Chain A
């Protein structure tokens, strides 16, 4: 068996590969369930199908998908330009901290402007946190993969310090939590289960999709990723692209953090996200580095979280299985993407035969 380069990249495979990857992931998940002694079909049903059969769990799915799509769409743009921001989890945390400062310092402020201020601060927090690796890359050529990741730990420790120290709720019985946000500091709900942030997420992903495919900025980003030399000759500044991509993906991660604490979480606590910033990396790849694709991919990754909770309650399978399934999925996507540019040939190479 060997790989043979296709004459041109197969657009059929580019579309088919995520679906092959999903199918392989489901088969592998079934194998893991079987190895654990569960009935694989029953477990797969509980994990992947059952959450889609009730309105409330579909609403849950959309709510969980929101941060994944928001962050994944931003990362998709960044990865297109070969800007490897892998610290979205830290930018989410930084956004949550700044947005959470509003209810912490002004617990009484509940005007229509309150939420707007929280969201703007969330974006600013994420942007500021992402600006650090961008600056260090542009000024000192420090690798943004490592610096953005290191900053995840720093932001989480900062949040931990705040909610255990100065920002702890004085009436909170010493629990490491901030004050519970007031009514006017929480996102409005459009249905009983879906908050306004979900709608914003879908709009943002669609707008980003438009920017990437239809504007000069999008073209600049794509060219910078495909051929930095060509981009330089076209007069596109690499450092400006790096800064733009980091700020965009960081800002969206920060907004996701602000959404989370002002809806699902409702206060600041040591952990504000179950690893959405890392799962969003998978969303970006599964969505073909396309912000619109990130919508579908985000829904699927959200299903992996909800399914994990479902098998834990229904079948006592530890929900740690979620992260395993997510990791396996990314592996299969990357492996299947080989088929876009190569075909598998099951024969002895011509040279060896001669």
Chain B
């Protein structure tokens, strides 16, 4: 029984950063904006979270700084794609390249420093229940409130939403900022809970996996939850297999999450009916009000 509980805890810890980032990106994409910079926002959240906790001595302030860092990065993305109408794919890549470089530069003096772990509440990392609550909250917000309907309308047909008098660019800015905040927390989770320290490139592709997760979950919050825990299980599988000492090279086990992501994308994208029903119709297209 204890083993089951331990495994479950490990899976939850591995799944939570993916879940947080993917939830945020889902809202961004539902508004019609494809932000490929999740990895960059996440790694900036990680370095800012570590730095905030390191400087103030308070890990909760670290979480706050990680959110702010993610939001600042997403604001930069929003300014380029929404105000300057730059190509979203290219800008997202730029955000990732900049985030990885900037975090390495900022974190130079943090390497090897002892980290501060976010305290647990009666044995549970507070961000784990937070992420679960967010699944329900985001689902309720997107599908049960008027504001959620507006976001989906903007993402499905920005011209119609504009004609109805909704502020397309404003809604998109807010959705992008929410995505940034969630990616930021996800990064903060890595450097304050998962492995409380700063290591360069410590996100190691989790931002990209989160992006794939949104597609895999066909933009539905509860499927993101299921997908994140599935991925948590895959990455934990490698630890378990390694502990068994079966002589499988560790590099092969480490590549499982990446191969799993490819497999998941293939399985879900092959199902055209499912993807077409939920893909935001205006995804990736810039909006220019013609009147």
Instruction: Enumerate chain A interface residues (CB-CB to B < 8 A).
Output: 3, 5, 84, 86, 136, 139-143, 145-147, 149-151, 153-154, 157-158, 160-161, 164-165, 278, 281-282, 285, 318, 320-328, 330-331, 334-335, 337-338, 342
Interfacial chain A residues near B252, Cβ < 8 Å: 157, 161
**Cα distance, A151 to B99, chains bound together (Å):** 21
Knowing A153-B255, A157-B251, the reply to whether A338 touches B265 (Cβ < 8 A) is no
Are A145 and B89 interface neighbours, CB within 8 A? yes
Q: Does B277 contact A (CB under 8 A)?
A: no
Q: Is B123 an interface residue (CB 8 A)?
A: no
The answer on a CB contact under 8 Å between A142 and B255 is no
Q: Please, could you name 28 A-B residue pairs with CB atoms under 8 Å apart, sorted by A?
A: A141-B270, A141-B275, A142-B265, A142-B266, A142-B269, A142-B270, A146-B208, A146-B212, A146-B261, A150-B212, A150-B261, A153-B204, A153-B255, A157-B255, A158-B255, A164-B251, A278-B97, A281-B97, A285-B90, A320-B105, A323-B100, A323-B104, A323-B105, A327-B99, A327-B101, A327-B102, A330-B94, A330-B97
Question: How many whole Å from B215's CB to the nearest CB in chain A?
Answer: 7
Shortest CB-to-CB span from A261 to chain B, Å, is: 19
> Contact check: which of A161, A328, A335 meets B80 at CB < 8 Å?
A335
Q: Mark B79-105, 1 if CB is under 8 A from A, else 0.
A: 010011111011101100111111011
List, in ascending order, chain B residues with CB within 8 A of A147's CB.
Answer: 262, 265
**Whole-angstrom CA separation of A120 from B20 in the bound complex:** 44
Asked if A324 meets B266 with Cβ closer than 8 Å, knowing A146-B211, A146-B212, the reply is: no
Instruction: Report yes or no: A140 in contact with B269, Cβ–Cβ below 8 A.
Output: yes
CA distance A91 to B77 in the complex (A): 28
Q: Contact: A136 with B266, CB < 8 Å?
A: yes
- A86/B93 contact (C-beta < 8 A), A141-B269, A334-B86 known: yes
Q: Looking across the interface, which residue of chain A has its beta carbon closest to that of B204?
A: A153
Task: Name 18 extra pairs, CB < 8 A, besides A153-B204, A157-B252, A324-B105.
Answer: A3-B84, A141-B269, A141-B275, A142-B265, A142-B266, A143-B212, A145-B36, A147-B262, A149-B208, A150-B212, A281-B97, A318-B105, A320-B104, A324-B98, A334-B80, A334-B86, A334-B91, A335-B84
With A327-B101, A334-B91 given, is the CB distance from A140 to B266 under 8 Å? yes
Main SS class of interface, B? helix
Task: Decide: B80 and A326 in contact? CB cutoff 8 A.
Answer: no
> When chains A and B are docked, how far (Å) is the Cα of A150 from the Cα of B264?
12
- The yes or no answer to B60 lying at the interface (CB within 8 A) is no
| Residue contact B249 to A161, C-beta cutoff 8 Å | yes
Whether the pair B251, A158 counts as a contact (CB closer than 8 A) is yes
Q: Are A136 and B254 in contact (CB under 8 A)?
A: no
**Interface flag for B272 (CB, 8 Å):** yes
Nearest A residue (CB) for B97: A327
B241 at the interface (CB under 8 A from A): no
Q: Which residues of A contact B251 (CB under 8 A)?
A: 157-158, 160-161, 164
User: Would you call B205 an interface residue if the criterion is a C-beta within 8 Å of the partner chain's C-beta atoms?
Assistant: yes
Q: Known contacts A147-B262, A154-B258, A161-B251: does B101 contact A320 (CB below 8 Å)?
A: yes
Q: Is the CB of A150 within 8 A of B259?
A: yes
**Smallest CB gap from A159: residue in B:** B251
Q: When chains A and B are docked, how far (Å) is the Cα of A142 from the Cα of B211?
A: 13
Query: Do A157 and B254 contact each other (CB < 8 Å), given the known contacts A146-B208, A149-B208?
Result: yes
B265 touches A281 (CB 8 A): no
User: In the bound complex, do residue B262 and residue A338 qualify as a contact, i.e. CB atoms below 8 Å apart?
Assistant: no
Provide the residues of chain B in CB contact with A84, threshold 8 Å.
89
In the complex, which residues of chain B have a beta carbon less than 8 angstroms from the beta carbon of A151? 258, 262
Q: Which of A324, A326, A338 contacts B85 (CB 8 A)?
A: A338
Please name all residues of chain A whose beta carbon is closer than 8 Å to the beta carbon of B36 when the two chains form the complex.
145
CA distance A290 to B39 in the complex (A): 28
B98 touches A320 (CB 8 A): no
Closest to B252 in A: A161
Which residues of the other chain, A, contact B215 by a CB distance below 8 angstroms? 143, 146
Q: Are B259 and A318 in contact (CB under 8 A)?
A: no
Known: A150-B205, A337-B86. A136 touches B108 (CB 8 A): no
Q: Within 8 Å of chain A (Cβ to Cβ): is B288?
A: yes
What chain B residues lie within 8 Å of A153 (beta carbons)? 204-205, 255, 258
Is B226 among interface residues, defined by CB-CB distance under 8 A? no
Distance in angstroms from A145 CB to nearest chain B CB is: 7
| Complex-state Cα separation, A160 to B250, whole angstroms | 10
Tell me which residues across on chain A come within 8 A of B266, comparing CB atoms.
Answer: 136, 140, 142
B194-247 with Cβ < 8 A to chain A: 204-205, 208, 211-212, 215
Q: Inside 8 A of A139's CB, which chain B residues have their CB?
A: 270
A140 touches B98 (CB 8 A): no
- The chain B residue with its CB closest to the CB of A325 is B101
Q: How many Å lie between the Cα of A331 and that of B261 in the bound state?
A: 28
The answer on a CB contact under 8 Å between B97 and A282 is yes
Q: Please, what's the 1-or-0 string for B98-116, where 1 marks a CB less than 8 Å from any CB in chain A?
A: 1111101100100000000
Answer yes or no: B147 CB below 8 A from chain A CBs.
Answer: no
- Given the known A-B contacts A3-B84, A334-B86, A338-B84, are A165 and B101 also in contact in the complex, defined by CB atoms under 8 Å? no
Contact with A along B1-37 (1 / 0, CB 8 A): 0000000000000000000000000000000000010
Take A145-B36, A153-B205 as given contacts and tell me if A328 and B98 are in contact as well, using a CB distance cutoff of 8 Å: yes
